[in-house]
Structure 1
Amino acid sequence: MPAPARLSTLDRWLPVWIGLAMVGGLVLGRFVPALSDALGALEVGGISVPIGLGLLVMMYPVLAKVRYDKVGAVTGDRRLLVSSLLLNWIVGPALMFVLAWALLPDLPEYRTGLILVGLARCIAMVVIWNDLACGDREAAAVLVAINSVFQVVAFSLLGWFYLTVLPGWLGLDTQGLDVSVGQIALNVLVFLGVPLVAGFASRAIGERARGRTWYEERFVPRIGPWALYGLLFTIVLLFALQGDQVLARPLDVVRIAAPLLVYFAVMWGLGMLLGAQLRLGYARSTTLAFTAAGNNFELAIAVAIGTFGAASGQALAGVVGPLIEVPVLVGLVYVSLWLARRWPADTSAPAIPPATPELADAEEGASR
């Protein structure tokens, strides 16, 4: 394995930069209220334009790295696809429902907000965690696309079931949910459709004009760092926008954080264990784990604000989602890389994967 000195400063200190971005966003939101007001005003269809731009910048480089000619091999892996559907649309929402009721029985607004987070399956930031952990890029693209389709179809239905039907069956309090399919479809289109089309077009045009070697050895390394720049920019804006709520109710944030911590750890662990049992290999097991653990906090926040109001407890629970998810999943990236060194030798995973995608590209080029 190459010496760590070959890593860029951004990659070596990524957890530090993410922590600083979170703190910086909270400070900006607290002490520069005009910035928070401006960000809240720049919305189209319930989507914050600056945050949307940050997510597009974040996702485009990763989706531009995907070898789309290999996607067919992923779609033929029924073990991976069925496992992902099971974890994302049955286990994940049910687990969050149980955790929300078990740990927040006296806080119905926060409980409802957490259930919304559990229903919003990840279609954006998971591509970053998967890439950093050296997961299967093609598999991630396929699973994210499947989650997008299911999200449009199933989010409203599952919201009705987990907030109204199931609590009624169990004799618990019920909550309504008013969210349109169009609102969910717009969210999917912006956060997945645009960067997916751009990434596919970049590879098709670049390889046709200059060849795959130039595309992967010259173009991809140049755009690669922008994924992390976009991630940091998005984190700053998210926490600047909601900084007042987070800082004004620190004890509530702790209460909300508890079920989230359990949820992220359990979902990631289930994904890795299931991948190992099915002998999917390290790369696809990692992809399965991160797509199961991540959530579409943009959608959860938008729905909570649109249904219950920006100052509601439901909206605060949605905001706390990325506050907990970002550092936890960054930590799980490092756990994944540690596990890769001990993954069974008969899988498709390399014995010691590179620490970052950029390093992986550099090593691949050096071996030619």
Structure 2
Amino acid sequence: MGFKVAVVGATGNVGREMLDILAERQFPADEVVALASSRSMGTEVSFGDKTLKCKTLDNYDFTGTDICLMSAGGAVSKEWSPKIGAQGCIVIDNSSTWRMDPDVPLIVPEVNADAIGGFTKKNIIANPNCSTAQLVVALKPLHDKAKILRVVVSTYQSVSGGGKEAMDELFAQTRAIFVSDPVESKKFPKRIAFNVIPEIDVFMEDGYTKEEWKMVVETKKILDPKIKVTATCVRVPVFIGHSESVNVEFEHPISADEARDILREAPGCLVIDKREKGGYITPHEAAGEDATYISRIREDPTVENGLVFWCVSDNLRKGAALNAVQIAEVLINRKLIEPKRKAA
């Protein structure tokens, strides 16, 4: 007998992607339920060759549900995830609400699947920030080989990370510029069309933004608390796909060729690194794909044991929806969860 899965926030970018990925990967679910806010009740969403009508989260009983994929924002998760977990349903949450909770595992299956057992304390598992997820997938095999001391990362993050409204704003602004209409900024602090904005989330007292802080603390929790990390996060006028320029300093020597060979064998990684015109991956090519693509691997002559590389991934998939579904698959494959109806 299969599992019963609920997707909360099913009408959003990530929620729709979760439904697509559950269908694509033939997740062993007997029933999938689409949940959203009351204003979206009855909205139809696709699930494989089926159409699901959204039910309201407020009225839903989770006692017979095995797994809840939560993608409805931090405020909703803060209120509902503990309630859902208390009903015996495991919540895999995509917001930042639970990531740094010591009783909630923060999981990227290719990197730290063994930490998943800690979910039993609250029945909640956290998905990392989209830019963190692809970063640690690339860093983990290199850390195992040569031990990372320090990471300097600059991100080039697509507008889909800000939701559907952000994507609509990029489209509307681009069109307005072409037809000489006024350009309006509502979602972003400055114009995003034909521009870049070095501000994602709110500013903190030390001058870093919260997005940058998330990358630092989440990388440490997932990979190794001893690694020094600093980040600059930038929003760019791309619809889907986050890119990162990553500079890494290691304790032990590692050459670009060694790194290339290691990453080619690493789970979740695809190396496209030809030293010729166009011999790398851009977010346009990564959109709709599951892998974390790594290109332009080279040695950094300014530090001892240094490497630089370019990293690209579909932020709606590996950065969010795919990672959540992979976490659910780990629960099943490791027999950490049984279908409730079978148990009954």
Same fold (TM over 0.5): no
TM-score (norm 1): 0.27
Higher helix share: 1
TM-score (norm 2): 0.28
Higher strand share: 2
